[in-house]
Amino acid sequence: MAQLVLVVAVNLTVRDYGAFQAEEKLLVFDKQKVYALRIEDGKDSVVLHKQEGKWLRPLPEIGDFPANQGRIERLLDKLTALEKGWPVATTSGAVQRFKVAEDQFERKLTLYSKEEILAQLYAGTSPGFRKVYVRPMDEESFFSVEFNTWEASTKVDGWIDKEILNLEADELERIEMPGFVLQREEDRLQLSELKENEESNMEEVRLLLDKLTGLRIQSLLGTEAKAEYRQDQPDLEIKIVLKDGQALSYRFSKPEEAPYYVLKRSDLNHYFKIADFTAKPLLDMAREKLVQVKNKGKPTEIFDEEKQSAMIQEATE
């Protein structure tokens, strides 16, 4: 009899789980109304807010700085897509143990409109790969969802726009670097003052343009000029003139024994930390890498075949 009761109970449980559809949203909020986002880890916190449709990261003493728009939008999309599933537990002891309590959590995310809190989520420990326990505000139950706490970092550098130095190559009119100048001619940038037997190595020019226009920063160093940056002893200076006439000056310097370079661009107030591997190709750039002898590398076999074909045709006529 006991065995029969157990079988029936198991079957009922299986049927209940099989019929369950985890479609209820974990958080209910209008993404378009989100004006600010605060992320906390119990020690540090980061705040992001919108201004004129753009996400900004407020920084102490130096005001707002452009944030990584794509990363924030992906996080908001992820939060709107989360579904509850089956509750893991509801007891206060479990809430504390799995770190989804108000006073103990791995992450606390708060979404604000201009008037109120739209949603709040506590993220705790992980039950497995790409999984985390979460508990919405004002709920006793918590759930296991697909999420990573690194997606909600509390580090400043994780949210700034690291591509703020990026330019469109088509907008560049002139580039001045030590030993050579690139000037736009025939709608493309080429080495100026070429000798009679020289021409631009366009593949190398393109690689240089990719590095210049795609510069990526590691982090912000503030707006204060510091002697330790050694900007008065630059390792490299570059001048770029855009089609609209705007001139941008780049000054790279290396603090003593530092594993990075400091960059100051003339149109921006901040000093930026640049990785060694990003700066070195520009420092090592020289004219000889961008120039080649005219017709260098043209296959002689093609010429010989053409000449031989012409000779055969002439002989048969």
Distance CA 29, CA 34 (A): 8
Number of H helices, E strands in the chain: 7, 20
Residues in the chain: 317
Bridge partners, 67 (sequence order): 160
Q: What's the confidence (pLDDT) of residue 45?
A: 94
pLDDT tens for each residue of 121-136: 999 999 988 899 999 9
Q: Where are the domains of the chain?
A: 25-158, 169-293
Amino acid identity for residue 141 in this structure: S
Q: What is the Cα–Cα distance from 220 to 65, expressed in whole angstroms?
A: 10
61 pLDDT exceeds 80?
no
Residue 253 CB coordination number (10 Å): 21
What the block records as the tokens of 266 is 């003339």
pLDDT exceeds cutoff 90 at 299:
no
The residue written with tokens 């705040």 in the block is 47
The model's confidence at residue 236, banded by pLDDT at 50, 70 and 90, is very high
Mean pLDDT of 225-253: 97
- Which residues contact residue 154 at a Cβ distance below 8 angstroms, ignoring those fewer than 6 apart? 39, 40, 41, 43, 44, 45, 46, 107
**Does residue 211 contact residue 252 with C-beta atoms inside 8 Å?**
no
Rounded to an integer, what distance in angstroms lies between the CA atom of residue 105 and that of residue 103? Answer: 7
Task: Name the band, by pLDDT with cuts 50, 70 and 90, for residue 305.
Answer: low
Question: How crowded is the C-beta side of 300, counted as CA atoms within 13 Å?
Answer: 0
Nearest to 126 by CA among 154, 149, 109, 103: 149
Task: Write out pLDDT tens, residues 32-41.
Answer: 999 999 999 9
54 pLDDT above the threshold of 70:
yes
Distance CA 121, CA 135 (A): 6
Q: Looking at residue 240, what is its pLDDT?
A: 98
pLDDT confidence of 263, banded at 50, 70, 90?
very high
Hey, is 138 helix, strand or coil?
A: coil
Residue with tokens 């709920």: 139
Rounded mean pLDDT, 85-101: 89
CB atoms near residue 123 (< 10 Å): 25
Q: For the whole prediction, is pTM greater than 0.85?
A: no
Q: DSSP character for 159?
A: T
- pLDDT by residue (tens digit) across 157-215? 899 999 999 999 999 999 999 999 999 998 899 999 998 899 999 999 999 999 999 99
Closest listed residue to residue 47, CA positions, set 186, 160, 184, 150? 160
